[in-house]
């Protein structure tokens, strides 16, 4: 799946590969220490935020999950 911003698609694929490798090879085997993909995620997130702004996609009122955000208590 491509990213919202064309310029972000390669970053998305790189992050997806990193995360999937970490998830399968570490997390599912009980090693939940650290996420080696955090820097990739942050770069990709910045790219997406820029693309959203450039395309003037309305996001007011939307709550996004991501690194550093906790799931609200009242959500399922």
State the burial class of residue 45 (Cβ atoms within 10 Å of its Cβ: 0-12, 13-18, 19+).
middle
* 18 within some domain: yes
CA distance 38 to 67: 8
| Average confidence score pLDDT of the chain | 81
Which is higher by pLDDT, 61 or 17? 17
Mean pLDDT (whole number) for 56-73: 60
CA distance 9 to 16: 10
* 27 within some domain: yes
pLDDT confidence bin for 61, thresholds 50/70/90: low
Domain of residue 43 covers 6-55
Q: What backbone torsions phi and psi does residue 67 show, to the nearest 5 degrees?
A: -55, 130
Structural domain tally of the chain? Answer: 1
* 73 within some domain: no
At 46, list the tokens. 């910045």
């Amino acid at each position: 799946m491509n990213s919202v911003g064309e310029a972000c698609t390669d970053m998305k694929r790189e992050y997806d590969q990193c995360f999937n490798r970490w998830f399968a090879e570490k997390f599912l085997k009980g090693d939940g220490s650290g996420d080696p993909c955090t820097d990739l995620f942050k770069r990709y997130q910045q790219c997406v935020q820029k693309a959203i702004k450039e395309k003037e996609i309305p996001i007011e009122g939307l709550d996004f999950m991501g690194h550093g955000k906790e799931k609200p208590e009242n959500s399922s």
